[in-house]
A and B are shown apart, each in its own frame.
Chain A
Amino acid sequence: MATLKVSSSVPSPSEDAEQLKTAFEGWGTNEDLIISILAHRSAEQRTLIRQTYHEVFGEDLLKSLDKELSSDFERAILLWTLEPGERDALLANEATKRWTSSNQVLMEVACTRTSTQLLHARQAYHARFKKSIEEDVAHHTTGDFRKLLVSLVSSYRYEGDEVNMTLAKQEAKLIHERIKDKHYSDEEVIRILSTRSKAQINATFNRYQDDHGEEILKSLEEGYGDDKFLELLRSTIQCLTRPELYFVDVLRSAINKIGTNEGALTRIVTTRAEIDLKVIGEEYQRRNSIPLEKAITKDTRGDYEKMLVALLGEDDA
């Protein structure tokens, strides 16, 4: 469930655009005003505001924000204001660049979005980067990582609930055999994870647990540590079956590090606020005995903190 709070009657996009312009006027910036508007609008509304701002003031709202804001807060506003498909395209593109490269982010975008959302990301990628997402991912990864990631970003999974139990049994067995032999990057494993529907994958791993008395993620804990591919594989499975738990894990390590990993924190809050941040928050509290909002406010400050809190639906606006 989403945490985004939007009131039932919002000002028109041109009123919002005017207000945002005033937030940039004069010395310093009125970040509170920016938060009070943008953090309480849906994706469609934000897109309209961005369009209107451009029509009225002749400049991309994001450029204005870029000029006026700095670092973590700006990043949060930037990601938040982008339309979800474009946001995912941006995240994916950054993840292929040398200094910001991240196989984890690529996997996350590919596996925690619906087929339609992933498709929008691929379309936005064409428009913005003049290339396909898969060609960039392929070009910037090698070996097993390439095999897995290109397949994941190219998938267009069937989204129905139909499940083939015989197939689930077969594929659970197959996966078990490969894992036993530590063939984590086996083609069949990658095939199953990157082409089967999420319903089918869930059925397969439930069957796995029934047949072998242990959860797949537990089976993959051995040999952990230095095997980066195994780590990625494990996260892939988690994203496909229990995404909220994956996000809780990432948030926990992002917040509890000495020095917060703002990148991950911003990314998760902005990409999930309209999807399932509520469920993630509940799970977070269950596992860490502290509400997510509290953990965040303990570790962040200023406008950045205010923005995150607003997206969590916990501010007073």
Chain B
Amino acid sequence: MAHTLDLEGITKAISGMGVEEGALISTLGNSHKDHRKLFRRASKSFFVEDEERAFEKCHDHFVKHLKIEFSRFTNAVVMWSMHPWERDARLVKKALKKGDEAYNLIVEVSCTRSSEDLLGARKAYHSLFDQSMEEDIASHVHGSQRKLLVGLVSAYRYEGKEVKESSAKSDAKILAEAVASSGEGAIENDEVVRILSTRSKLHLEHLYKHFNQIQGSDLLGGVSESSLINEALLCLLKPSVYFSKILNASLNKDADKGTKKWLTRVFVTRADHGDMKEIAEEYNQLYGEPLAQTIQEKIKGNYRDFLLTLLSKSN
């Protein structure tokens, strides 16, 4: 016996994101049952004292919490092993099931992948779900966002170097007018949907320049009342900024369960896509701290090591 309980060590090992597997083995694994009693008594959020019967009952929360934190590594491994097309198809399917709050995921997948990868995701969708991605979205989304979402996933954008400057300029004017005049209705505006869901990314970059000149304001400064439109613009024009913001939100200690999952998604999908390095640089610029450092400090165990490996692979 002999060892005193490293109470702080155990608690630390299971708080935060991921689990410090090694520490748990050496402390908890090595602990005497009296130690564990101390542990239970001290962990009021995980165990509740049944004074009448003199024992400490386990909270559901304890089991749930451990399940979630232990499974972060598992999920990352599963996601990383999957073909990117299947990954994206499943992300879209999940977003559809979740509903409104998750539609940003559909915008993310459709706007930050290459034309071939988005197409691949649509092929995978056929294979996995016996339906086309666009028909599933069209039949599940009933509100004003349908037009834009179906449009975005159906795009097969030109990816070459040619741009018609006059078109980009006139589209910039059209977009400015449409956003100004439609307010909330902008997301259903035919011209907005046309521009966002058919134009090449290069065209949109030129449009961006013209827009800012004409309007004297930043197109990416939350130009629309619709968050999906703003998100689509950010994804199409500055994906590194978009992903940095998502990462920051997921690493926030007050982030909810769903938001925390974004961390795995961003790392796995962007390490494959090849812009993890740019995202890390952008993150550093925006938040004043290297991404690797944040991960090192806030994440635990195998999960942390896996993320750091994906990150270093990209450098």
Q: Which residues in A have some Cβ–Cβ distance to B below 8 Å?
A: 119, 122-123, 126, 130-135, 138-139, 142-143, 146-147, 150-151, 154-160, 162, 187, 191, 194-197
Contacts and interface: CB of A to CB of B under 8 A. Distances in A.
A134 B131 contact: no
A214 B159 CA distance: 47
17 contacts: A122-B156, A123-B156, A126-B156, A126-B158, A126-B159, A126-B160, A131-B162, A132-B198, A132-B200, A134-B198, A135-B199, A154-B151, A156-B126, A156-B133, A156-B134, A196-B135, A197-B135
Counting from the closest, the 6 A-B pairs by CB-CB distance are A195-B135, A154-B154, A135-B198, A130-B162, A138-B194, A191-B138
A150 B158 contact: no
B7 interface: no
B154 A135 contact: no
Given A132-B157, A132-B158, A195-B150, A146 B190 contact: yes
B130 interface: yes
Interface in B144-171: 146-147, 150-151, 154-160, 162, 167
Most buried by B among A126, A158, A187, A196: A158
Contacts of A191: 135, 138-139, 146, 150
B135 A151 contact: no
B5 interface: no
Contact of A197 (B132, B155, B157): B132
A195 B147 CA distance: 12
Contacts of A151: 150, 154
Interface of B: 119, 122-123, 126, 130-135, 138-139, 146-147, 150-151, 154-160, 162, 167, 190, 194, 197-200, 203
Given A126-B156, A126-B160, A195-B132, 7 more contacts: A130-B158, A130-B160, A131-B158, A132-B199, A134-B154, A139-B194, A159-B126
Contacts of A143: 190
Nearest to B133: A156
Given A135-B199, A160-B126, A191-B138, A154 B155 contact: yes
Contacts of A119: 119, 156
A97 to B, nearest CB: 15
Contacts of A159: 126
Contacts of B190: 142-143, 146-147
Given A119-B119, A132-B156, A151-B150, A158 B198 contact: no
Contacts of B167: 139
A139 to B, nearest CB: 7
A156 B122 contact: yes
A187 B190 CA distance: 13
A150 B146 CA distance: 14
A155 B194 contact: no
Given A135-B198, A160-B130, A197-B132, A155 B158 contact: no
Contacts of B131: 158, 197
Contacts of A196: 135
A142 B193 CA distance: 12
Contact of A135 (B133, B135, B150, B158): B158
B202 to A, nearest CB: 10
B135 A158 contact: yes
A142 B194 CA distance: 10
Nearest to A122: B156
Nearest to A133: B156
Contacts of A155: 132, 134, 154
Contacts of B147: 187
A158 B154 contact: no
Contact of A157 (B132, B150, B158): B132
Nearest to B191: A138
A195 B134 contact: yes
A154 B160 CA distance: 19
Nearest to B132: A158
Contact of A162 (B130, B138, B200): B130
B160 to A, nearest CB: 6
Contacts of A132: 155-158, 198-200
Contacts of B200: 131-132, 135
A159 B125 CA distance: 12
Nearest to A143: B190
B85 to A, nearest CB: 13
A119 B119 CA distance: 9
Contacts of A138: 194, 198
